Chain A
Amino acid sequence: MRIALFATCLADTMFPAAAKATVQLLERLGHEVVFPEEQTCCGQMHVNTGYQKEALPLVRRYVRTFESCDVIVAPSGSCVGSIRHQHAMVARQAGEEGLASRAETVAGRTYELSELLIDVLKVEDVGAYYPHRVTYHPTCHSLRVLRVGDRPLRLLRQVRGLDLVELPAAEQCCGFGGTFAVKNADTSTAMLADKMRHVLDTGADVCTAGDASCLMHIGGGLSRLQSGVRTVHLAEILASTEAGS
């Protein structure tokens, strides 16, 4: 299958390993990956911070860039959530009904990685090998906007060598929330403190998730604590093999 990658601005710029791993994983499974270079950002930060008008060109750009693709994947539950639940709304509020219906069509073909693997590619065992003790944080937007459910866990359970440990209070937000983390830094930090305590309680050496943004937040806190626990994107784990990724 020919799959277009929406890398997301955050992974493209700051966490390329997650996007690279998505490419390597899909190619290993026998698919062709394309990367339309006109892509930039989905506009979620603008919409969620109250700059819907400013997000409009980014919605238009996303639609134009990916309109010709049959299947689009992004290694981020949060960006896919925005594409699926906000793009058409942004266009509609701007009075661009035509763009709104195109946005709906493209959004219908855009998948978060675990959705693509399980629902479209019908694969749970991706042949990965990852000999670590791992705990999974089900980021809010994957969980409650996209409703990916246990898809990421089903994928992780098939990874050889991986010791999956349950994260207590897993469904509680890590406190990132985009600009929330700076506008309400103290509250965000208090939420993060509880999330980190739960991660450390598991004894895992890796905390994984389907969103680079939440991982940046949790990872930033764990690094400040010098805890020794790493944050690794789900795609990177699934891309790992015995031969090395």
Chain B
Amino acid sequence: MSTFLGMPAYAPRGVGHLRGDEPFPEAARTALANPQLRRNLQHATTTIRGKSGAVIAELPDWQELRSAGSALKAYTMANLPRLLEQLEERVTAAGGVVHWAADATEANRIVTDLVKATGEQRVIKIKSMATMEIGLNEALEDAGITPVETDLAELIVQLGHDKPSHILVPAIHRNRSEIREIFLSEMPGVDPDLTDDPPVLAAAARRYLRETFLSTKVAVSGANFGIAETGTLAVVESEGNGRMCLTLPETLITVMGIEKLVPTWQDLEVFLQLLPRASTGERMNPYTSMWTGVAPGDGPQNFHLVLLDNGRTAVLADEVGRQALHCIRCSACLNVCPVYERTGGHAYGSVYPGPIGAILSPQLTGVEDNASLPYASSLCGACFDACPVKIDIPSILVHLRNQVPHPRAERTAMAAAAYTMDHPKLYERAQKAARLAKLLGKRGRGLPPPLNGWSSSRDLPTPPSETFRDWWRGR
């Protein structure tokens, strides 16, 4: 019985944000039809690619750092039980309380109960992929607790009743004038003469949240890194909203995926070089906070760490796919992906969009629940080159495509094609049949789905009068 209970499990259905409402190709169609969205995405991803490329080029040992980062993560996964227990021990010794959450439902319950126990009705939040993944805000709201997102992009998403579309910049799909409109209509007390100048917009967020920071007694955060050796947690940010949340409240609750572990303090020297350059294209992000349990007289005096599985052990069980757990959430793969650049993040249906989302979401949920995502890539390989911890995303995509339940017609066609290709005589006959495709004309009228997807925008090649092997034999 205990063996059965100990089997790795997928993230449960009905809670959190790992599954979309429609398959990727359909969801992408909506985004592709929105020229403003495509302009916003192209502008933002082009900007970040340029910045990131420039600061990466400054480091003579970027490739060595990538290799070290990759190996450190593989080491961490191989030693996960020991390192997690070590982290728990160190955090506890430093005055923190560690909780273990097998899935989203349990994590939401733990956090909600902790907030209720403080008697507070409002929490301030630092942007955290883990809490978005588990749908913590909805769970808190159901319990009558108001979660206030304090990251600028999250605030834009929350005020705009929108969904995040990027790991790092959840409002990447909005440009400055759209952000101004959202602030004007949704931000209480905003200056009606607000312009769309980015510093002005940032100042409006500063004014709006200031009093909330000073008066809220509970904060919820994620963590970029949890150091097993010392029990130290790290949050990497830009705006100072993270510092506010980690410093001002009386109670801090941090939700961290079990894969965010780093073995030793020294190992941070690798990740603190990789993450900012790959992520925001900065030599270093403006603020990184590190804390170990409770510091008497400094910052929150009650600290809770929630360690989250929610499908991660299922990812770990796949020897090829487990690399997806090495991700440090920099979003470099999104920024270089030609598919993401055109469809945006909403099309992926999960809080994890882009190439990393296409390999992570299906593994967290089981491929059946995200069957279209492994195909949401042309396998161009730009993501692999950009990944600061060298996750071989294209190979994992191909690997997952093998696990996806295939449509019956496609399965039949693929089996027939393979059989034909393995029998040269049949193959030659098929080649001659291909020449009959001339009858279809350039526009390929009358081709059945999905082949008409090709001919809707592309002419068919004109079949040659003889195949290469005909020519070879005849010369």
Known: A15-B461, A41-B421, A58-B421. A184 touches B338 (CB 8 A): no
Mostly helix, strand, loop or mixed at chain B's interface? helix
B434 / chain A contacts, CB cutoff of 8 Å: 13-14
Smallest Cβ distance from A75 to chain B, in angstroms?
A: 10
B144 at interface by CB-CB < 8 Å: no
Smallest Cβ distance from A135 to chain B, in angstroms?
A: 18
Q: Measured between alpha carbons, how far is A196 from B384 in the docked complex, in Å?
A: 25
Q: Which of A12, A51, A184, A185 contacts B467 (CB 8 A)?
A: A12
Stretch at the interface among A97-105, A116-124, A157-165, A213-221: A213-221
Q: A177 to B380, Cβ gap below 8 A?
A: yes
Which residues 419-475 in B have Cβ within 8 Å of A in the complex? 421-422, 424, 427, 431, 434, 442, 450-451, 453-454, 456-461, 463-464, 466-472
Which residues 31-68 in A have Cβ within 8 Å of B in the complex? 35, 37-38, 40-41, 43, 45-52, 54-55, 57-58, 61
Q: Measured between alpha carbons, how far is A204 from B143 in the docked complex, in Å?
A: 64
Stretch at the interface among B192-200, B322-330, B370-378: B370-378
B271 at interface by CB-CB < 8 Å: no
Q: Measured between alpha carbons, how far is A150 from B424 in the docked complex, in Å?
A: 36
Known: A49-B401, A182-B453, A184-B375. A19 touches B468 (CB 8 A): yes
Q: Measured between alpha carbons, how far is A171 from B339 in the docked complex, in Å?
A: 14
A3 at interface by CB-CB < 8 Å: no
Could you give, for residues 151-180 of chain A, a 1 whenever the CB lies within 8 Å of some chain B CB and a 0 otherwise?
Answer: 000000000000000000001110111111
B377 / chain A contacts, CB cutoff of 8 Å: 177, 180
Known: A35-B472, A188-B378. A48 touches B401 (CB 8 A): yes
Q: B381 to A220, Cβ gap below 8 A?
A: no
Q: Measured between alpha carbons, how far is A182 from B413 in the docked complex, in Å?
A: 14
Which residues 390-438 in B have Cβ within 8 Å of A in the complex? 398, 400-404, 406, 410-411, 414-415, 417-418, 421-422, 424, 427, 431, 434
Q: B453 to A181, Cβ gap below 8 A?
A: yes
Chain B residue nearest in CB terms to A218? B458
A145 at interface by CB-CB < 8 Å: yes
Smallest Cβ distance from B66 to chain A, in angstroms?
A: 15
Smallest Cβ distance from B411 to chain A, in angstroms?
A: 8
Chain A residue nearest in CB terms to B444? A220
Could you give, for residues 348-361 of chain B, a 1 whenever the CB lies within 8 Å of some chain A CB and a 0 otherwise?
Answer: 00000000000000
A200 at interface by CB-CB < 8 Å: no
A141 / chain B contacts, CB cutoff of 8 Å: 381
B385 at interface by CB-CB < 8 Å: yes
Chain B residue nearest in CB terms to A93? B402
Which residues 80-113 in A have Cβ within 8 Å of B in the complex? 86
B73 at interface by CB-CB < 8 Å: no
Q: B376 to A184, Cβ gap below 8 A?
A: yes
B403 / chain A contacts, CB cutoff of 8 Å: 50
B382 at interface by CB-CB < 8 Å: yes
B173 at interface by CB-CB < 8 Å: no
Which residues 48-72 in B have Cβ within 8 Å of A in the complex? none
Chain B residue nearest in CB terms to A17? B464
Smallest Cβ distance from A140 to chain B, in angstroms?
A: 4
Known: A12-B469, A43-B421, A57-B418. A224 touches B381 (CB 8 A): no
Q: Measured between alpha carbons, how far is A180 from B378 in the docked complex, in Å?
A: 6
Q: A37 to B469, Cβ gap below 8 A?
A: yes
Stretch at the interface among B21-29, B221-229, B290-298: B21-29
Q: A221 to B28, Cβ gap below 8 A?
A: no
Q: B464 to A14, Cβ gap below 8 A?
A: yes
Q: Which of A35, A58, A183 contacts B422 (CB 8 A)?
A: A58
Sample of 15 A–B contacts (CB below 8 Å): A14-B464, A20-B471, A35-B469, A41-B421, A51-B406, A57-B421, A61-B422, A180-B377, A181-B453, A185-B456, A185-B457, A189-B456, A191-B339, A223-B459, A224-B459
Chain B residues at the A interface, C-beta cutoff of 8 Å: 24-25, 28-29, 32, 38, 338-339, 342-343, 374-382, 384-385, 398, 400-404, 406, 410-411, 414-415, 417-418, 421-422, 424, 427, 431, 434, 442, 450-451, 453-454, 456-461, 463-464, 466-472
User: 3 tightest A-B contacts by CB?
Assistant: A177-B378, A185-B453, A50-B401
